[in-house]
Each structure stands twice: as C-alpha cells, then as structure tokens.
Copies of this chain bind each other. A is one copy, B any other.
Amino acid sequence: MKVCKFGGTSVASAQQIKKVASIIQADPARRIVVVSAPGKRFSGDTKVTDLLIRLATAALSGEPVQHALQSVIDRYAEIADELGLERDIIDIIRADLSSRLRADPGQHDLYIDSIKAAGEDNSAKLIAAYFTSIGLTAEYVNPAKGGLFVNEPPDRAQALPESYELLSALADKPVITVFPGFFGYTKGGMLRTFDRGGSDITGSILAAAVKAELYENFTDVDCVFAANPQVVENPVEIEQMTYREMRELSYAGFAVLHDEALMPVFRASVPLCIRNTNNPSAPGTMIVAERSSSSRPVTGISADSGFSTLYVSKYLMNREVGFGRKLLQILEDEEISYEHIPSGIDNLSVILRSHQLDTEKEARIVERVKRELQADDVHIRNDFSMIVLVGEGMNNHKGLTARASAAFARTDVNIEMINQGSSEVSLVFGILKADEEKILNELYQEFFAPALIR
C-alpha cells in the first residue's frame, strides 16, 4: 500500500486533479490520498487558503462576509464544473463554510484555524466525489472519524500517539481513502492545524500508521536537486538520499519537505519519494533509511541566510564551571534557541537565527551577559549564512574538509566558522551572507562538476 500526498498546485484546477486521478489509477497500491487546498494556478493567483484567511478576518472584524465567501465557493465551483461534477458538491461546501462561520469566535486563533482548514477538508470532499464519478471506489474520510487526534493548546499541534493505532484501520478499507491534510482534532472535538508543512505531516502520519510500503509526496518539481537551482546552473538530481541527509539539507534552505513531516515516516521506516504531479514518469527522489553507497562524498549542498552571532570573550573563561550554561540560560529567558557554539579558549560565539532577535532583545542580552557574567567583550553581528555539505559516510572521505576549504581559498571567501565533529553526515561553514552565491557555486563545482583539469 502506498500513501500519496498532493500539494496545493497539484489540486489547483480541474486539469491538475485529472492528473492526480491518472496517477492513482496507474498504480492499484495507491490506496490513501492526502490532499491540500487548491493552490495557485498561475503566478499571481491567490491560494484558497489565503481566500479563507481573508474570509475569517472579515468575519472576526464584523464586516460583511458575502464577497469573501463567494470567492472561495467560486474556486471550488469552477473546478467542480470543469470536472463535470453535480452541483450538490458545491451545496455541501457552501453549507460547510456557513456552519464554520457561525461557530463561536470566542478564541480567534481556533476560529481562524477552523476556517482555514475548510480549504483542505472541502478539497478532499470534492476530489473524492470526482474519483467516484470516474469509477474509482473512493471515500472522503474526516480526520475526526479517521482518528487523527492532536494535543491540546497551547503547545503546537502534534498527533497523539494513539492516532497511529486508530488510523491504521484505514489500511483495511476496501476503498480509496481521500483524506484532508493540514489538521486534526483534539479529543474534545476542537479543530487544530499543523503550523508548518501541514499536509506533508498528515501524509507522513498516515503512511506511518498504515505501515505503507511507500509515502509518495507529489509536488511540482521532478526531484530534489543537489544545490539550489536558482543559484547553481543545472544542478544534478538526487536519486536517493537518507532521512538524515534530507533533514540536514532541509535545516539550511532545502524547503522541499519540512523536518517535522519527515519524523513519522522516519520513525516507522517508511521510504518517501518526492515526485512531480506534472511529470509522473520521472523517478523522483527517494528518501530511505539506508542507501546504496555513491562515488560522491557529498549528496547535497544547502545554503541559508538569516543567522546572527553573539560573541562573548572573557579572560580565563574556560576556568569558570557554569559559564556556558549561564549564557544559554540568558538566551533561554529570551526564548531564543541557538544553532552552534564555536569556542576558542577565552571566547565563544553563539550562532542563532536572526528572526528571534530585535533591537531591544539584543540590547538586553548584551547588557545581561556583560553584567551577570562579567564578560570583557560582548557583541552581536548579523548577516551570516550557513553552508552545509551533506553526505552519509562523509567522515570516511578524509580529504573532504581539505577539498571544501580549498574551494573557499580559491574564491577568497573567508570561513567565519566551521562546525565539524558531531554529525557524521554534515559539515557546516559559517560565512558572510554576501559571499553565499559565490561559494555555493564553487563548492558545487568542486563536488559535482565532472573532473576536467583536476
């Protein structure tokens, strides 16, 4: 059994949904289909989810909702018409949205969540109706009925362990299940959405629950590339990589799949395939627990900007038991998580994501570190990027650091930070953001370009 997830662009129009149906028909093992809300059909188009946010905002501010409501219904109606469906599916969607709008808006967040989730929920109802209309035995399954239960607020929504047992029953259904992505319910019946990588998470949970042979994640790209194709010209396609490699790549800039969506299939050892709805014959990128070895030590190179460095120096710092712990406590008090802590003898730097900082926080942190830790020098610098070389078995290739740092030397890009030593599958370089494109291209040439002079 395979679980297939289709993203927003894959279900954005009747034409796209027909592709989805063809994909399902092409392989009888594709028994569970997780769908997103209709996404953009063209550049500049508005996603249904954004139309729904407008609708919820209008309702909450007491404005008339008719116009915003109609724009949502129109999107579904256009798809339904082109698919040749009866208009009763639109009546169902209209009734569903009206019912959500009438709910108690006491807790604004939950009210907005409920209306946003209508995008996926009605997408699943419509697609199930279409599947049935073309002769596929398909059934829409609501997450509450299927058993996708989540924890209570205020912690971010995560599937409860018991959900996996409940959802495993989907494996026994004699029909194709069409399941909306992006949300679940608390045991008390409250709808909650997954905050990041929504529908990917639902697909991953279902694939883990039914112990699928494969989780196919259909997007609008053929595969994962070894480097960002917007920076590197014609990067090679990654045919196969491990969960760890995907996770390390997604950490710094590879937005293909959010790491939280990787966890359920990783824990259940279900292989995952990134595929293209628009080119289903392309083999895609397989993500597996263990892969066959490759001649290349590096599988992919990611780059991500938006990092800052908190630098702290104090003479004889390394004699003070507790110095690092107290420093991290100050960051924790400001609810800041950090990425790396390179350290010298009398100094250390904390590398963190800049979005967690603002001018006031920076001033408070610098002041507290100076006062409470009596540091000699404390300052924060912004505009750093991280470049991450990722590859299983990287530490068997002893010359890898030499090759990477030679690439830095050739481009005259300064290495602000190196972090090697804990992960066996990645090597992290900190650089100035301004150098990002230059070094990404040079590293790509070093590790992926066919050997010419070298």
| Pairwise interchain contact B408-A398, C-beta atoms closer than 8 A | yes
Q: Does A165 contact B (CB under 8 A)?
A: no
| Pairwise interchain contact B419-A421, C-beta atoms closer than 8 A | yes
| Pairwise interchain contact A349-B430, C-beta atoms closer than 8 A | no
- Report 22 cross-chain contacts, Cβ distance below 8 Å, ordered by A residue: A248-B345, A251-B318, A259-B316, A260-B316, A266-B315, A319-B337, A322-B332, A342-B421, A343-B422, A343-B423, A344-B428, A348-B422, A349-B422, A398-B409, A398-B412, A401-B415, A402-B406, A402-B408, A405-B405, A415-B421, A418-B419, A421-B430
Describe A's contact surface by its main secondary structure.
mixed
A122-152 Cβ-contact flags toward B at 8 Å (1 or 0): 0000000000000000000000000000000
| Pairwise interchain contact A417-B421, C-beta atoms closer than 8 A | yes
| A267 / chain B contacts, CB cutoff of 8 Å | 315
Q: Looking at the complex, which one of B248, B321, B341, B426 makes contact with A324 (CB distance below 8 Å)?
A: B341
| A342 / chain B contacts, CB cutoff of 8 Å | 340, 342, 419-422
Instruction: Please report the C-alpha to C-alpha distance between residue A409 and residue B415 in the assembled complex, in whole angstroms.
Output: 19
| CB proximity of A271 to chain B, nearest CB, Å | 17
A283-308 Cβ-contact flags toward B at 8 Å (1 or 0): 00000000000000000000000000
Instruction: Please report the C-alpha to C-alpha distance between residue A336 and residue B320 in the assembled complex, in whole angstroms.
Output: 10
Q: Does A329 contact B (CB under 8 A)?
A: yes
Q: Does A395 contact B (CB under 8 A)?
A: yes
Q: Looking at the complex, which one of B399, B414, B421, B423 makes contact with A418 (CB distance below 8 Å)?
A: B421
| A347 / chain B contacts, CB cutoff of 8 Å | 422-423
Q: Does A325 contact B (CB under 8 A)?
A: yes
Instruction: Please report the C-alpha to C-alpha distance between residue A409 and residue B403 in the assembled complex, in whole angstroms.
Output: 9
Interface residues on A, range: 35 or more
Q: Does A311 contact B (CB under 8 A)?
A: yes
| Pairwise interchain contact A336-B321, C-beta atoms closer than 8 A | yes
| Pairwise interchain contact A318-B344, C-beta atoms closer than 8 A | no
Q: Does A416 contact B (CB under 8 A)?
A: yes
| CB proximity of A332 to chain B, nearest CB, Å | 5
| Closest B residue to A251 using CB positions | B345
| CB proximity of A268 to chain B, nearest CB, Å | 13
| Pairwise interchain contact B318-A339, C-beta atoms closer than 8 A | yes
Q: Does A338 contact B (CB under 8 A)?
A: yes
Q: Looking at the complex, which one of B247, B341, B401 makes contact with A343 (CB distance below 8 Å)?
A: B341
| CB proximity of A191 to chain B, nearest CB, Å | 24
| Pairwise interchain contact B426-A345, C-beta atoms closer than 8 A | yes
Q: Please provide the chain A residues from 254 to 271 with a CB less than 8 Å away from any CB of chain B in the complex.
A: 259-260, 263, 266-267
| Pairwise interchain contact A409-B399, C-beta atoms closer than 8 A | yes
Instruction: Please report the C-alpha to C-alpha distance between residue A422 and residue B247 in the assembled complex, in whole angstroms.
Output: 26
| A338 / chain B contacts, CB cutoff of 8 Å | 324
| Pairwise interchain contact A421-B426, C-beta atoms closer than 8 A | no
Q: Looking at the complex, which one of B321, B332, B339, B398 makes contact with A321 (CB distance below 8 Å)?
A: B332
